[in-house]
Structure 1
Amino acid sequence: MRRRLLLILAILGSCAVASFAIPLAIATADSRTQEFTLGREGDIQRFAVLAEEYVRTGDPARIAGEVEAYDDVYGEGVLVVSTRGVPTLGVGLDSNDPGIEAAIRSGLRNERVSTVERLFPWSDDEALFVKPVGSGAQVNGTIVLRASTAEARSDILRQWAVIAAGALVALVAFGALAIALSRWVLGPLANLSKGIVQLIRRMPDAKVPPASGPPQSVLPATAAGGPPEVRRLAHSFDVMSSAVLRAADVQQRLIADTAHQLRNPLAALQFRLDLLDDGIPDSAREDYHSVTEEARRLQSILDSLLSLASAETPRFGGGRSDAVCDALSVIADRVDFWSVTAGERGAHLETVVPAGIDHLQVGMGENDLSQVLDVLIDNASRYAGPHPRIEIGVAIEPAAERPEICVWVADDGPGVPEDVRGRLTERFFRASDQTGTGLGLSIVEVVAAAYGGRLALDEAPGGGLRVRLWLEHHRENVDDD
């Protein structure tokens, strides 16, 4: 994959450099060609003025000296041909040469000719410039100048060398950047693949891809394409996910087996303790009650641990992410369930729901939301004082992306100090004056996190403790018909 990526980046870089270097090279050639052409056009224009005097008067004194001096300095020949009977005058050019002869005919037809279009380092060594001698349509002769292009082509070649050197430097820099970019992009991918392989090796009964060559893919045929590194990573991830699924299944079976193996002996122990109630002497009655209370507490801790382990067990394939329930109906059900127990404890339950709304879908399973409310209502009715007022409410709160549903349970009891409030979700943490397992709010926090919810504990408006849970709002799809 790295070679392919570098090849693609090299092609892109070469195209980018070429798109800049080639137009620049052509522009420099055009500029030097224009400079060369304008210089020779100026020279032949000056010779044309002198040639006009020569063909009219027949006196070669002025033009002959200029032509000879020009040839001595530049080594470029000049030829003057007249139609008025004066002899042909020239230095360095032969009028019988086919190319010169064709240029003379063009000039006598009143055509101004230049054989230079655009100079390149490989262009011809010489270029011809032709200008008619006369005024208007009257042609009295023509003048031919053969100029050397060596100096202009040499200048163009030097400029092109500079451009090529700059393009080469740009390509080298782009290549270094491409190598660094490929390492930056593919490095984490390779590290991730190695990390997955090492993780798989630590898992029991996991098929590890061989160290050399891509493993045989177990993914569907539609996912078998792509670079070798991606195929290797996809297969490693597939093996890892299978191992994780097996581990989750083992954990769920362990929870079920633990519940079965421990609950039955505890139930039998409590049953035998109840049978002994009538035969316990008064002297051992206090110890007997202590044993029964410890047995009940052990049963409560076991139930809480199993609930916590079940909440922490990952679920795959249509699990928590797809769960939706009606918060209003769940709240009404749990308030009705706890009304008798809370009343016996001296607590009064109240509900606060939005007016005019019959259903409020939230992103949490019905059983899990019921479990959360059971923990919160149970805690409030136990620890909020002798006659607390417990408020169970739900509201729609606006958010940046989509509205959220806030479910809360608040009481007007003595509350919890702020320094202790932050530790209430710690496992087995209990305030000094409270009984219980210390796992209730830990379970609530784990369940909320499993659904992507947020949990907050603060002081209630009535002075007690308020526990708020924010969940995703799922709108119902209503059929217009």
Structure 2
Amino acid sequence: MTDVARPRGLTWGKRTFLAFALVVAVSVSSAALVALIVGPPLFHEHLLELDRPQGTAEMAHIEQAFFDAGVRSLGAGLAVALALATVLVWWETRRLRRPLDELTSAARRLGSGDYQARVPIGTAGPEFDAVGEAFNSMAGRLDATEENRRRLLSDVAHELRTPLSTLTAELEAIGDGLIPWDHESHDLLVQQAARLQRIANDLNDVSHAEEGRFQLDRRPVPVAELVHQAVATFRPRYAAKGVELTADSERCVVVADPQRVGQIMENLLENALRHTPAGGMVKVDAQSARGEVTISVTDTGDGLTGDQLDRVFDRFYRTDTSRARDVGGSGIGLTISRSLAQAHGGSLTATSPGPGRGSTFILVLPSPA
């Protein structure tokens, strides 16, 4: 990597010190010059008020004594003032340079890949603190982005490993003549290829979700219409599994993209169906209060532990790792749903009384003022 060219000449600290020193020197010189110009004539006027004869040796000696005493005392005082001012300027310059050095060091660490680099806050004035807080905020966002990138690479590698291994083993077995090329082999290869395609589509969706690049067509929509469409779509599948699906919706309206909210509802109902055994029940309930609409999906299925509640919205996370991907889902439906809810200015949360006691997913969306 090419080193950044540094500007030649004096550093900021040296320039600041020299500027302060020049101001002090000019101030001291001006004070001395004014004292020498104003002091003797003023003293001479005071002597004349005493009605002493002018031009005598006594008067000349008095004026010379005043001049000598004034010059010496003023010179000593100004020299001491100049020395003290120089020391104070040096100390202040060093104090101001310290946060800049810390910021430079942290920026270099950040540029070299150390995303934990931070600058201390409260060691300088409010202006430096504001710059430090902005830098720390930027570093925190970069650290989070890098962590998401590492996790995404790990998740992608994990998700791709199984279908690729299956395809490789199947093709090698066919090539070596260990198994025949028949309808069963063809179906297996097609299934794994479709699985890879779904993973690619999932990755694209989760990328849009985490970067907030959803295009929303917001407009007032009756909540009952959204709930009815989602329930009608899933009712046959629920009936086939033997799970009861009910819905109850108040007369209320949300400002939202109906397609995207429908996507959230589909993910929630799909998740509830997957984790509710035959004979169970899933209820969708929509209510309006205080300028927002709450849509809850409650099931009597597997339930969630405390750890699972903390991670249920993480991408590629599946509560039951023993399930196959094709059966257990991709693990990003809830991730995308929460991002969609946040893009609408709402939220998506989950609660559960414990394993085997069902769970509730609560979608909150804004309603018209």
Whole-angstrom distance in 2 between the partners of 1:161 and 1:169: 12
Residues 145-202 of structure 1 show CA distances to partners (whole Å, capped at 9, x for unaligned) of 4432211221121111111112211222233234333333444555556669xxxxxx
**Counterpart residue number, 1:153:** 71
Distance 1:460 1:378, change over 3 A: farther
Shift in Å, 1:411: 1.3
**Counterpart residue number, 2:271:** 379
Match of 2:234 among 333, 338, 352: 338
Whole-angstrom distance in 2 between the partners of 1:469 and 1:421: 15
Distance 1:22 1:395, change over 3 A: farther
3-state SS of paired residue (2:328): coil
**Counterpart residue number, 2:82:** 164
Shift in Å, 1:409: 1.7
Assess if the C-alpha contact under 8 Å between 1:130 and 1:143 holds in 2.
Answer: no
Whole-angstrom distance in 2 between the partners of 1:186 and 1:337: 58
3-state SS of paired residue (2:101): helix
Shift in Å, 1:350: 3.4
Residues 276-317 of structure 1 show CA distances to partners (whole Å, capped at 9, x for unaligned) of 9xxxxxxxxxxx9xx999899868855753442222334899
- Between Structure 1 and Structure 2, which shows a larger proportion of helix residues? 2
Please report the TM-score for the alignment, with normalisation by the length of structure 2.
Answer: 0.54
Whole-angstrom distance in 1 between the partners of 2:200 and 2:243: 28
Whole-angstrom distance in 1 between the partners of 2:8 and 2:285: 60
3-state SS of paired residue (1:386): coil
Distance 1:389 1:321, change over 3 A: same
Identity of aligned residues (%): 13
Whole-angstrom distance in 2 between the partners of 1:20 and 1:452: 61
Distance 1:385 1:318, change over 3 A: closer
Shift in Å, 1:342: 2.0
Whole-angstrom distance in 2 between the partners of 1:457 and 1:298: 32
2:119 is aligned with 1:119 = no
Gaps of 5+ in 1: 30-116, 134-140, 197-243, 245-250, 263-275, 277-287
**Counterpart residue number, 1:457:** 350
Assess if the C-alpha contact under 8 Å between 2:283 and 2:299 holds in 1.
Answer: yes
2:304 is aligned with 1:412 = no
**Counterpart residue number, 1:357:** 252
3-state SS of paired residue (2:245): strand
Whole-angstrom distance in 2 between the partners of 1:435 and 1:194: 39
Whole-angstrom distance in 2 between the partners of 1:16 and 1:342: 83
**Counterpart residue number, 1:208:** none
Whole-angstrom distance in 2 between the partners of 1:5 and 1:314: 48
3-state SS of paired residue (1:311): helix
2:360 is aligned with 1:466 = yes
Whole-angstrom distance in 2 between the partners of 1:406 and 1:16: 67
Assess if the C-alpha contact under 8 Å between 1:350 and 1:390 holds in 2.
Answer: yes
Larger RCO: 1 or 2 (CA < 8 Å, sep 6+): 2
Q: Which runs of structure 2 are paired with 1:89-238 in the superposition (5 Å)?
A: 119-120=35-36, 124=40, 127-128=43-44, 129-130=46-47, 142=52, 145=59, 146-147=62-63, 148=65, 149-189=67-107
**Counterpart residue number, 1:390:** 282
Whole-angstrom distance in 1 between the partners of 2:296 and 2:85: 67
Whole-angstrom distance in 1 between the partners of 2:340 and 2:189: 31
Identify which range, 441-450 or 296-305, moves more after superposition. Answer: 296-305
Assess if the C-alpha contact under 8 Å between 2:285 and 2:297 holds in 1.
Answer: yes
**Counterpart residue number, 1:305:** 199
Assess if the C-alpha contact under 8 Å between 1:324 and 1:361 holds in 2.
Answer: yes
Distance 1:459 1:299, change over 3 A: farther
Whole-angstrom distance in 2 between the partners of 1:5 and 1:451: 54
Shift in Å, 1:349: 3.0
> Given residue 156 of structure 1, which amino acid in structure 2 is its aligned partner?
L
Whole-angstrom distance in 2 between the partners of 1:315 and 1:12: 52
3-state SS of paired residue (1:332): helix
Assess if the C-alpha contact under 8 Å between 1:6 and 1:178 holds in 2.
Answer: no
Distance 1:295 1:391, change over 3 A: farther
**Counterpart residue number, 1:320:** 214
Please report the TM-score for the alignment, with normalisation by the length of structure 1.
Answer: 0.43
* Aligned residues between the structures: 284
Gaps of 5+ in 2: 1-5, 115-148, 150-155, 168-182
Distance 1:389 1:450, change over 3 A: closer
> Given residue 300 of structure 2, which amino acid in structure 1 is its aligned partner?
D
Assess if the C-alpha contact under 8 Å between 1:305 and 1:439 holds in 2.
Answer: no
> Given residue 359 of structure 2, which amino acid in structure 1 is its aligned partner?
L
Distance 1:469 1:440, change over 3 A: farther
> Given residue 205 of structure 2, which amino acid in structure 1 is its aligned partner?
A
Identify which range, 312-321 or 160-169, moves more after superposition. Answer: 312-321
Q: Which has the larger radius of gyration?
A: 1
**Counterpart residue number, 2:334:** 444
Distance 1:131 1:191, change over 3 A: same
Assess if the C-alpha contact under 8 Å between 2:299 and 2:360 holds in 1.
Answer: yes
3-state SS of paired residue (2:332): helix
Assess if the C-alpha contact under 8 Å between 2:21 and 2:86 holds in 1.
Answer: no
**Counterpart residue number, 1:93:** none
Residues 330-389 of structure 1 show CA distances to partners (whole Å, capped at 9, x for unaligned) of 433212211233233333333455x5532x125xx6555433322321232343233333
